[in-house]
Each structure stands twice: as structure tokens, then as C-alpha cells.
């Protein structure tokens, strides 16, 4: 991201002004009404300067989110797996809310139509977070809180899926109670019954499924 012509000579204060203006305008009018012209005007910057370093408004917003994100990137680990998952999910809910004005939502919408942007989005924002999420789950597996053969991709789908489902279909984000319930259900699906005899049989049926 932003590795244009000659990054050495780049004017950092312009870069900051552009990102700040982008954030302001996005919050004010929503991503959809965001305009390169308006960003340039608000930031007191020539349009050229934006086009020199970013290929589209989506890329600007992506860098904005990227910068904000790196501030809080380490995955939480309190020892309480369910609580940590709720923390991770709550963070994402915050990012996706309110649906119609959140920069992240707008970015996702644009990326749905723009493969290049989609690629950058996945590379810069999403994959690192998925990695952190899986890392936390793997630690849980090591601690025996999750069955050793649990499918982490399934876990990813089941835990984050509901948020994007609700975002996409405008169903409203889950309230804390719902979230609790979702996490509990998913953990149950990933941790077979404990009593010795039962656990054995369960493991067998899983083998048949997967």
C-alpha cells in the first residue's frame, strides 16, 4: 500500500492530512458519498497527490483502517477462551457498526466490485487477523480447551460468519446475549462431550462427517 514513485521524498504531513480528511468525511457522509475531490479539498492537498500514492479512494480508506488497526493487533489471551473470542468478535462488531457509515463496511462493499482492492484488503487487514485468531485457537487446543482435531477454518466460519451475514443482509449486529449464545454453541460444536464413554463414540461420528 502507498509505495508509489519515490517514497523517500514523500511528504508525511500531506499523507496524514489526507487520511484524517478521509476519516472525517467518511464519518460525516458515509463511505458512499466520499469523493477524492472532497478529500483533497478538505486536506488542503492537490488531487494529484492522492492519485500519486493511491490507486482509488478504496485504497486510501484501506490505509486508514490499516493504520488504525495496527494500534491494537495482538490477540487477547486471558485464559478464558470464550471471553477472548467474545472480545475478538466485539472488536469486529465495532468496526462494522454502524453499517451504513462505517468506513470498513464501505470498503467491503467496494471490494466486492473491485478485485484489486479486494486483494489488498485481504492481504492487509484480513489475513493478519485470521492468523491471530487461529493462533489463539491453537493455544486453546494446546491447553486442551478444544479438541485437538478441531477444524479451525470451520471455527472461523462459524464465529465470524454471523457478523458478516448480518452486515450483508442488514439484520442488525448480535447483542451481547446473542453473541454469548453463538460462542457457546460453536464451542460446543468444537468440543465433544466429556464423560469418557460418550467422548469415544462422538469422536467416531466426527470422523464419519469430516
Partner DNA sequence: TTGTAAGCGAGACGGTACGTCCGGTCTTCCG
Partner DNA sequence: CGGAAGACCGGACGTACCGTCTCGCTTACAA
Q: Interface residues with DNA (CB under 7 A)? A: 4-6, 8-11, 14-15, 17, 33, 35-38, 44-49, 51-53, 56-57
Indicate which of DNA, a copy of itself, none lies near residue 114 (CB less than 5 to 8 Å, by partner kind). Answer: a copy of itself
153 binds a copy of itself (CB under 8 A): yes
Looking only at residues 75 through 104 of this chain, which bind a copy of itself when binding is defined by CB under 8 A? 99-100
Q: Which is nearer to a copy of itself, 17 or 85 (CB)?
A: 85
Q: Which is nearer to DNA, 15 or 136 (CB)?
A: 15
Contact at 8 Å (CB) between 151 and 157? Answer: no
CB of 204 to a copy of itself, least distance (A): 10
CA separation, residue 153 to residues 9, 109, 145, 178 (Å):
43, 23, 17, 22
Looking only at residues 18 through 77 of this chain, which bind a copy of itself when binding is defined by CB under 8 A? 30-32
Amino acid at each position: 500500500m502507498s509505495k508509489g514513485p519515490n517514497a523517500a521524498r514523500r511528504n508525511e504531513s500531506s499523507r496524514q492530512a489526507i487520511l484524517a480528511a478521509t476519516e472525517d468525511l467518511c464519518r460525516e457522509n458515509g463511505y458512499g458519498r466520499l469523493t477524492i475531490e472532497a478529500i483533497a479539498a478538505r486536506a488542503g492537498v492537490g488531487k494529484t497527490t492522492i492519485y500519486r500514492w493511491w490507486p482509488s479512494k478504496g485504497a486510501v480508506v484501506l490505509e486508514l483502517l490499516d493504520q488504525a488497526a495496527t494500534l491494537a493487533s495482538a490477540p487477547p489471551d486471558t485464559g478464558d477462551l470464550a471471553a477472548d473470542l467474545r472480545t475478538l468478535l466485539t472488536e469486529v462488531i465495532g468496526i462494522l457498526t454502524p453499517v451504513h457509515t462505517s468506513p470498513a463496511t464501505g470498503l467491503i462493499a467496494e471490494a466486492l466490485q473491485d478485485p484489486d482492492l479486494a486483494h489488498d484488503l485481504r492481504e492487509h487487514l484480513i489475513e493478519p487477523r485470521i492468523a491471530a485468531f487461529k493462533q489463539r485457537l491453537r493455544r486453546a487446543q494446546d491447553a486442551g480447551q478444544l479438541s485437538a482435531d478441531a477444524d479451525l477454518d470451520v471455527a472461523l466460519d462459524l464465529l465470524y460468519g454471523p457478523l458478516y451475514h448480518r452486515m450483508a443482509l442488514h439484520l442488525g449486529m448480535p447483542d451481547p446475549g446473542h453473541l454469548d449464545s453463538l460462542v457457546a454453541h460453536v464451542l460446543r460444536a468444537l468440543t465433544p462431550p466429556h464423560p469418557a464413554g460418550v467422548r469415544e463414540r462422538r469422536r467416531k461420528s466426527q470422523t464419519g462427517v469430516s
